[in-house]
Amino acid sequence: METVTPRPLPSAAVTSSPPSFAHLLLLTATSVPHLKQLHAHLLRSALDLSLTAPFLSKLLSLSLSSPSSSSSSSSSLDYALSVFLHSPDHLHPHPRLANRVLRAALRAAEPRRALRAYARFRRAGLVPDRFTLPAVLRAAARTGDDAAREAHGLAARLGLDSDPFVQTALVGAHAALGRVADARGVFDRMPQRDLVAWGVMLDGYCQSGRYSEALLLFVEMRSSGIVPDQVILATVLSACGRAKNLMFGKSLHCYILQSDPSIDTHLQSALITVYSNCGSMEIAQKLFDGMCPKNLVASTAMVFGYAKLGQIEIARSIFDQMPNKDLVSWSAMISGYAESDRPSEALKLFNMMQESGLKPDEITMLSVVSACANLGALDQAKWIHIYVNKNGFRTVLSVGNALIDMFSKCGSLAHAQKIFNEMPRRNVITWTSMITGLAMHGDGRSALALFDRMKVEGVEPNSVTFTGLLYACSHAGLVEEGRLVFRSMAQEHNIEPKYEHFGCMVDLLGRARLLEEALQLIESMPLRPNVVVWGSLLGACRVHGEVEIGELAAKRLLELDPRHDGAYVLLSNLYAKAGRWDDVREVRKQMKSRGVLKEKGCSWMELNGKVHEFLMGDVSHPRNDEIYLKLNEVVEELGKMGYSPNVGSALVDLEEEEKRGAVLMHSEKLALSFGLINSARGSVIRIAKNLRVCEDCHSFMKSASKIYEREIVLRDRSRFHRFKDGACSCGEFW
DNA sequence: ATAGGGTTAG
């Protein structure tokens, strides 16, 4: 049971005795090492003063005054705290001393240490005061420790729960631990709320990603007549940018100009962020141009904004012009490349960042891992994994999640599963990533089994989980299971199916040749059918050579997006399959007249840590001659088994013979030839490709795997194909 | 109590 009676304070007794020479000596110390030296000296004369108030006091002021950037300050703090932590139980620390330690630990970004020290203090009989609790709560908020609940109760027992400082800290702690409703409850019961309290509540919404609610709170604040300061405005602007609420941003901009045209740099940067997050780069650029000197934060926001719009070259040039770059600016540029499908550049930049002497944090790592996932290069992935473990990111949940995805996308389910199994904690993203990984590899049964386990463990699936599950059913041809999953979404989990779910269902039904049913689903869905669902239907029609429904799907698709290259390609393949060559030419003509270009096929593979790229018909590789020689050989060998190129996959108006040539030059065939030349017999050949593999390449790979006795793992845009002994793991469901 | 970078799906 908690005691609230203050205990006698022996340390105060020490202070009140006349200072000894030893004490005076201590006070001459000029640095922590110096103090340690004096301390050791006094110990030798049997005077242990380390537990006296003056010593601790001096120790603290020295620790706190050393420059915060140097590593010595953290080790000084370490020393200071260890003295506290090893002091005997009967010390009964004075809250003032405890508060200084807690504040020091917080300032040194050592919340865990603060909590340990606090626990130690409590055991020694500390009775916290109105300054202790906020510090503890802030530490707990940062570590995710549930000391907050305990502190809440303690505050009530000590009668401190009506103190505005304590209340504000409670709001912050609840919010940081994801209990926004509890935070709001405390906030609403506060009899008076200063700007800090409003700020903490606003920040609380932002921390849990509820940006629109933050904006609502700001509106409430304004209507209760409170005038925001620059800190509040900066927070709200940030929320506004993240909520991508351009209108709100503009009105905030007006408000700021009206109320106080002297905008400080924080606000300027925050305004730029609003516009760049909303994709309004013209306005962002104008504000940025008016900024002198350009600050780091604003420049980073510009880099981010352009990168998000795909204008990666402009982003890069701003990045290159920045005189100083910190971790956040590097990360923004790296994630820009990662998100714009330029994984090699992302990894290159990561190396440059390290050369410049910066160590990544976990957020940088997420972009790096995700870039490697997109690249699909297994050796790189293994290297990144080692790097993650070496640099202390192994136990970070989000990084573990990204690793699962990375190994799945690099073709090694085994690695992904190992990481999954060894994760100390798992959240919905962990499970979803693993389910999606299994789906990509065509293992639908395991994906469903994992989903059952997930439910048993009480993790609530979200809409992404269902995308993965439906995708798993679709790629494994599990029609009934897919229907059940689809139905359970709304019925059991309260998740309304979105476009991607309908897309998966259309895919699932379509691949099972239930094309009529797929069409009915599209026509009866509560959302307006979009490019995704018509595209799925068209794809299925191509697989089954179903011209009539396919034409309809293509027509609808092209109404929605006349420049959709995939639609023309699929339609043309479909006509080719049916032998309707006039229609093939017609599609081609239409495409030409509308200036639509087919995305160029590109494959790549890793050799000795280097990624080699092949475009369709590529002749630029330094070992071009060898590659084509090998390709000819493979074609000849396969020909003996009855292979002949399937020209339906060619989308060019060429003569028959030229079509054959074009199909034979598909990028994955070039990559395969390169792989056969350069890798040892019996080793796995891994190829990644930007588009979906064509029918001809698919059968080509199957035969090649048999003749050359090689396992070939091909990642295409939608899934993995593992060719072995003349068969593919996809079982033709693709 | 203040501004900039983040994992699954698309």
Return the nearest residue to B2, CA–C1': A231
Give the C-alpha separation, A142 to A160, whole Å.
Answer: 22
CA of A407 to C1' of B6 (A): 18
Pull the structure tokens for residue A341.
Answer: 């499908």
What pairs with residue A688 in β-bridges?
Answer: A604, A715
Instruction: Give the DSSP H or E segment for A614.
Output: strand A610-615
| Nearest partner of A672 among A645, A728, A632, judged by Cα | A632
Q: Which nucleotide is nearest to A230 (CA to C1')?
A: B2
Which residues 291-310 in chain A have a CB closer than 7 A to strand B? 295-298, 300-301, 304
Give the C-alpha separation, A152 to A157, whole Å.
Answer: 9
CA of A582 to C1' of B6 (A): 50
CA of A649 to C1' of B9 (A): 29
Tell me A302's DSSP state: H
Instruction: Give the DSSP H or E segment for A661.
Output: helix A656-664
CA of A298 to C1' of B3 (A): 8
Give yes or no for CB of A265 within 7 Å of strand B.
yes
Q: What DSSP string describes A627-643?
A: HHHHHHHHHHHHHHTT-
CB A615 within 8 A of CB A600: yes
Q: Which nucleotide is nearest to A367 (CA to C1')?
A: B6
User: What does the pLDDT read at residue A230?
Assistant: 92
Indicate the residue type of A273: T
Which residue reads 């390609």 in tokens? A569
Give the C-alpha separation, A533 to A511, whole Å.
Answer: 13
Give yes or no for CB of A423 within 7 Å of strand B.
no
Give yes or no for CB of A358 within 7 Å of strand B.
no
Give yes or no for CB of A214 within 7 Å of strand B.
no
User: What does the pLDDT read at residue A120?
Assistant: 82
CA of A369 to C1' of B9 (A): 17
Bases of chain B within 7 A of a CB of the protein:
1-10
Give yes or no for CB of A154 within 7 Å of strand B.
no
Instruction: Give the DSSP H or E segment for A53.
Output: helix A53-65
User: What does the pLDDT read at residue A178?
Assistant: 83
User: What does the pLDDT read at residue A84?
Assistant: 61
Report CA A681 to chain centroid distance, whole Å.
38
Give yes or no for CB of A327 within 7 Å of strand B.
yes
| Nearest partner of A695 among A711, A716, A677, judged by Cα | A716
Pull the structure tokens for residue A355.
Answer: 């050369």
Q: Which nucleotide is nearest to A301 (CA to C1')?
A: B4
CA of A198 to C1' of B3 (A): 18
Give the C-alpha separation, A253 to A241, whole Å.
Answer: 12
CA of A445 to C1' of B10 (A): 24
Q: For residue A538, give the 3-state DSSP assignment.
A: helix
Give yes or no for CB of A603 within 7 Å of strand B.
no
A230-242 helix and A265-277 helix, angle to the nearest 10 degrees: 10
Domain annotation for chain A: domains and CATH numbers:
383-593 (1.25.40.10), 604-728 (no CATH)
Q: Report the phi/psi class of residue A618: left, alpha or beta, with left for phi > 0 and alpha for psi in -120 to 50.
A: beta
User: What does the pLDDT read at residue A1?
Assistant: 39
CA of A364 to C1' of B5 (A): 7
Compute the CA torsion angle A561, A564, A570, A571 (nearest 10 deg): 50
User: What does the pLDDT read at residue A444?
Assistant: 96
Give yes or no for CB of A569 within 7 Å of strand B.
no
Return the nearest residue to B10, CA–C1': A500
Q: What DSSP string describes A143-166?
A: HT-THHHHHHHHHHHTT-TT-HHH
Which residues 470-489 in chain A have a CB closer than 7 A to strand B? 471
Question: What are the residues whose beta carbons fall under 8 Å from the beta carbon of A626, sequence distance 6 or more?
Answer: A677
Give yes or no for CB of A200 within 7 Å of strand B.
yes
User: What does the pLDDT read at residue A227?
Assistant: 94
Please tell me the number of Cα atoms within 13 Å of A426 on its side-chain side. Answer: 22
Please tell me the number of Cα atoms within 13 Å of A37 on its side-chain side. Answer: 7
| Nearest partner of A729 among A708, A713, A710, A706, judged by Cα | A713
CB A176 within 8 A of CB A205: no
Give yes or no for CB of A436 within 7 Å of strand B.
yes
Length of chain A: 734
Which residues 110-149 in chain A have a CB closer than 7 A to strand B? 138
Q: Which nucleotide is nearest to A277 (CA to C1')?
A: B4
What pairs with residue A728 in β-bridges?
Answer: A723
CA of A423 to C1' of B5 (A): 25
User: What does the pLDDT read at residue A553?
Assistant: 95
- Outline where A245-295 has alpha helix (H): 246-259, 265-277, 281-289
CB A704 within 8 A of CB A672: yes
Give the C-alpha separation, A236 to A491, whole Å.
Answer: 37
Which residue reads 């923004």 in tokens? A332
CA of A414 to C1' of B8 (A): 18
Give yes or no for CB of A506 within 7 Å of strand B.
no
Return the nearest residue to B4, CA–C1': A297
Which residues 383-402 in chain A have a CB closer than 7 A to strand B? 397-398, 401-402
Give yes or no for CB of A370 within 7 Å of strand B.
yes
Residue A147 burial (CB count, 10 A):
20
Which residues 664-693 in chain A have a CB closer than 7 A to strand B? none
| Nearest partner of A12 among A95, A113, A105, A124, judged by Cα | A95
Q: Is the dihedral angle over the CA atoms A77, A79, A82, A88 positive or is it negative?
A: negative
Could you state, in chain order, the average pLDDT of each consecutive group of 10 residues for chain A (734 residues)?
A: 39 44 67 71 62 62 52 56 58 78 80 83 86 89 77 87 92 88 93 94 93 95 93 95 95 92 88 96 96 93 96 96 95 95 94 95 96 94 97 95 97 97 95 97 97 96 97 94 96 95 95 94 95 93 91 94 90 86 88 88 91 90 92 93 80 67 90 95 93 91 95 94 94 78
Residue A379 burial (CB count, 10 A):
15
- Outline where A494-530 has alpha helix (H): 499-511, 515-524
Give the C-alpha separation, A630 to A672, whole Å.
Answer: 9
Cis peptide before A293 (omega within 30 of 0): yes
Which residues 629-658 in chain A have a CB closer than 7 A to strand B? none
Q: Which nucleotide is nearest to A135 (CA to C1')?
A: B1
Q: Which nucleotide is nearest to A436 (CA to C1')?
A: B8
Return the nearest residue to B6, CA–C1': A363
| Nearest partner of A174 among A164, A162, A184, A165, judged by Cα | A184
What pairs with residue A603 in β-bridges?
Answer: A614, A689
Give the C-alpha separation, A500 to A502, whole Å.
Answer: 5
